[in-house]
Amino acid sequence: EDQVTQSPEALRLQEGESSSLNCSYTVSGLRGLFWYRQDPGKGPEFLFTLYSAGEEKEKERLKATLTKKESFLHITAPKPEDSATYLCAVLPRGGYQKVTFGTGTKLQVIP
């Protein structure tokens, strides 16, 4: 069974204090790994799709990386508007084509 574990569950950062969120996964062949941002009461907002180990993608202060067992979302010099819950999800290459989500990391950036 596919599994996704995100850590930490919650993270509190000072504005400008860089850090990383972790997503560890177990899947029988990875078709894609996805990162989303979710603000309270809203739908998840797509950030990145990663397909193979070694791949990296960047968007503003966010950078996502992928290895064979985990993915990191690096946040450089965060701002209060980066506060949100960040969700990681994986899609297996074969079998049942269903995305499995982690439980998310709730990020709070304090001015």
Partner 1 sequence: DTEVTQTPKHLVMGMTNKKSLKCEQHMGHRAMYWYKQKAKKPPELMFVYSYEKLSINESVPSRFSPECPNSSLLNLHLHALQPEDSALYLCASSQDWGTGNGNTIYFGEGSWLTVV
Contact residues: partner 1, CB under 8 A: 31-32, 34, 36, 41-46, 49, 51, 87, 89, 91, 97-99, 101-104
Closest approach, Cβ 110 to partner 1, in A, equals: 21
Which whole-number Å values give the CA distances from 61 to 19, 67, 76, in the listed order? 11, 20, 5
Amino acid letter, residue 66 = L
Q: Which is nearer to partner 1, 13 or 88 (by Cβ)?
A: 88
Amino acid letter, residue 68 = K
Closest approach, Cβ 97 to partner 1, in A, equals: 4
Q: Which is nearer to partner 1, 15 or 59 (by Cβ)?
A: 59
CA dist 27 and 17 (Å) reads 32
Closest approach, Cβ 77 to partner 1, in A, equals: 25
Closest approach, Cβ 44 to partner 1, in A, equals: 5
Q: Which is nearer to partner 1, 44 or 78 (by Cβ)?
A: 44
DSSP E strands in the chain: the ranges are 3-7, 10-14, 19-26, 30-38, 45-50, 56-59, 62-66, 70-75, 84-92, 100-101, 105-110
